[in-house]
Amino acid sequence: MDLKRYLETTKSLIDKALDAYLPPGDKEPKSLHRAMRYSVFPGGKRIRPIIVLASAEACGALKGALPAACAVEFVHTYSLVHDDLPAMDDDDYRREKPSCHRKFGEANAILAGDGLLTLAFNIIASDMPPSIAASAAKELSGAIGTFGMVGGQAADIESQDKKKSPKELERINRLKTARLFEASSKLGAITAKSDGRKTKALSDYGERLGMAFQAVDDILDGDGSVKLFGDARARLYARDLIEKAKAALKPFGARAEKLEAIADHVLEQLTT
């Protein structure tokens, strides 16, 4: 399979859908809508929505997964916009351009994040069949709420000036990063109305891939587990997680070829 081509075509499919969902920049309140669009485009890797689509495809039902994929990307973008705020990470740049609050002001950046988060759940309620919308909303809100991403961010802030134990670091990474990956693969299963065994397999895949993704990010930044264990052990840890993520895909056989290639691709960031 040509992964590069798959990622490119899927990204452009996702970008088109994201564009269609976003309010036009010339509609009032213009600066708010422009701040939302500015944060979504041009995007990053779009790995989370790609995982939604590839997971649905592995379950044999790609059709209908695009709304869930867009909801996940809007949630991810909201988290980046809010994470960059002065009260959080205080970053002036995101994806090589001024962060949302640097460009549109703090109030607009807070509201743009709020708008993106709200849009995500509106899409689930409006564009997913009623029979699965509730479980999709439950999964996504659970992954990003106080027992998920928001809780992880709070724990991270609380422990900022303290030395984190390996266990605490793992817990924060699981909540801050891996839960949204897990929700992404599970949303693919939910939209495909997959059975319990396959849903659990995809849940394990997403969680392990998310942990690996964070480990790779830490290795590239010399942060997190690298500070605790050193570069060599952090690399072994990331590799092991990728192997475990791929092992979870067993029930899918050849249908999981894209998910497998995505997992390998995450690890390849360390060698390219």
- Name residues contacting ligand GRG, limited to 72-111 (CB under 6 A): 79-80, 82-83, 88, 95
- What single-letter amino acid sits at 203? S
Establish if 240 lies at the interface with ligand GRG (CB under 6 A): no
Nearer to ligand GRG, 45 or 233 (CB): 45
DSSP H/E element including 67: helix 66-83
Nearer to ligand GRG, 177 or 199 (CB): 177
- CA–CA separation, 127 vs 226, rounded Å? 42
Query: Which residues, 6 or more positions from 113, have their beta carbon under 8 angstroms from its beta carbon?
Result: 78, 79, 81, 82, 100
Nearer to ligand GRG, 195 or 221 (CB): 221
Contact 188, 55 (CB under 8 A): yes
b/e per residue 89-105 (b: at least 16 CB within 10 A): eeeeebeeeebbbbbbe
- Considering only residues 33, 34, 174, 176, which one is a binding residue for ligand GRG as defined by CB under 6 A? 176
- Considering only residues 177, 191, 203, 225, which one is a binding residue for ligand GRG as defined by CB under 6 A? 177
Size of the site for ligand GRG (CB under 6 A): 16
Q: Shortest gap between Cβ of 154 and ligand GRG (angstroms)?
A: 9
- CA–CA separation, 49 vs 35, rounded Å? 21
Binding string, 120-159, against ligand GRG, x = CB under 6 A? -----------------------------xx--x------
CA distances from 158 to 22, 48, 172, 198 (A): 34, 27, 11, 37
- Name residues contacting ligand GRG, limited to 22-61 (CB under 6 A): 44-45, 47
Two tokens, residue 202: 């995809």
- Considering only residues 217, 227, 255, 269, which one is a binding residue for ligand GRG as defined by CB under 6 A? 217
Sign of CA dihedral 56, 8, 74, 80: positive
- What single-letter amino acid sits at 141? S
Q: Shortest gap between Cβ of 269 and ligand GRG (angstroms)?
A: 10
Q: Which stretches of the chain bind ligand GRG, using CB under 6 A?
A: 44-45, 47, 79-80, 82-83, 88, 95, 149-150, 153, 176-177, 214, 217
